[in-house]
Structure 1
């Protein structure tokens, strides 16, 4: 299923949007790897798996997999074909469960995609990263490839239902590796690693930085 969806959709996406893809050779072809990307549109976690040189699993809200009708079938098939992993939102253990699911993907030697900002930027700025990405990197030993996605916010702005035509650029940066630091607390190590990852994403994307976390909206 995954191979079929990528085989069909990837050429269609490239034909329709003619994306500029830079640094694909920075993504290891085998073994566990984390792709840490900025987040400016709901399309980001669809675009990255379509242009990456290997399948990339992202977490997706479980309710997307429970929609009914033809639209529900299409969304469910698309997400399943892109190796998306359903996760419940709002539960007390949701964050911990999400990290456990991500670690399982990495322990199986697969690629896992994550948006360290946690939710989409509504003003185009790059917000402070949450430390889950560093927890995954240190716990699994997987390298982190910083990724910048540009243009998807114009193709499908916040609130729009259907994507438009437009220009997309995806940049894959050089892999970063992290390990437990002797004499440094786990929390401090995760914070330092996350800040380094966000710096690398900023270098690729050219976005203005926001010092604060990007909080979920009331609707989300």
Structure 2
């Protein structure tokens, strides 16, 4: 219930006012059944603008820190991210990658929409970074189609480090579903998984118009956020070859 309250009665109306979101390709999102929405990631608000324009509920994998805060602020944050359909993922353990994949499979196994940021982090410079193969493993093991989504302008509403949202036009482009059934039974093959991830990122590059950088953004997280670098937040990691 809280998902719909946040979407239609609280945060949703404010985001519509600030971002005036336009969505292109909404017909590419299935009305039922499992699917993966693979999006570029330029702002924290990506996880709120996308559910705002998609009629179906979307479940995202989110870092567990959003759910472990203390005091009034921690309780509010925990309720807020839970209400927005986000599932906590602990990134610190030795089995973090497998835990994230298992959580994603549970969501898809229930026939739901799963939201993923294949870059694994928010881009600080507007460029698109190399996709992680955890997305490919999920698609191949679940048989779900992958729908590329380009978020454009969200970084202007919610600049990195800002505490106040700003008015700016937001456009959301939803691409045609990608069917990887030709690779059925090949989950765990690192070459196939790399090919799947790269195909998704290529479509994201075309949709978003972003410059592509063929390195993992997370590998640059310790460096300053100058052009060509990115500070990692967290999302789906690379799948380990089996």
Q: TM-score surpassing 0.5?
A: yes
Name structure 1 gaps, 5 residues minimum: none
Aligned counterparts, 1:168-207, within 5 A: 168-179=170-181, 181=183, 186-207=189-210
1: CA distance, partners of 2:62 / 2:115:
11
SS in 2 for 1:164: coil
Once the two structures are TM-superposed, the CA of residue 89 in structure 1 deviates from its matched residue by 1.9
Cα 1:143–1:68, aligned 2, differ >3 Å: closer, same or farther?
same
Name structure 2 gaps, 5 residues minimum: 223-230, 233-242
Query: Which residue matches 2:40?
Result: 38
2: CA distance, partners of 1:77 / 1:36:
25
Contact persistence 1:10–1:51 (CA under 8 A): no
Once the two structures are TM-superposed, the CA of residue 134 in structure 1 deviates from its matched residue by 0.9
Q: Deviations over 1:133-186 (max 9, x none)?
A: 111111101111100001111222222223222111111110011126389772
- TM-score, reference length from structure 2: 0.84
Query: Which residue matches 1:22?
Result: 24
2: CA distance, partners of 1:134 / 1:25:
23
Query: Which residue matches 1:159?
Result: 161
Query: Which residue matches 1:74?
Result: 76
SS in 1 for 2:205: helix
Query: Which residue matches 1:7?
Result: 8
SS in 2 for 1:48: helix
Deviates more, 1:176-185 or 1:108-117: 176-185
Contact persistence 2:63–2:90 (CA under 8 A): yes
2: CA distance, partners of 1:176 / 1:51:
20
**Could you tell me which of 37, 40, 60 is aligned with 1:58?**
60
2: CA distance, partners of 1:99 / 1:183:
17
Question: Are 1:98 and 2:100 matched, yes or no?
Answer: yes
Q: Deviations over 1:44-70 (max 9, x none)?
A: 122212221211111112121122344
2: CA distance, partners of 1:183 / 1:18:
43
Once the two structures are TM-superposed, the CA of residue 90 in structure 1 deviates from its matched residue by 1.5
* Count of aligned positions: 220
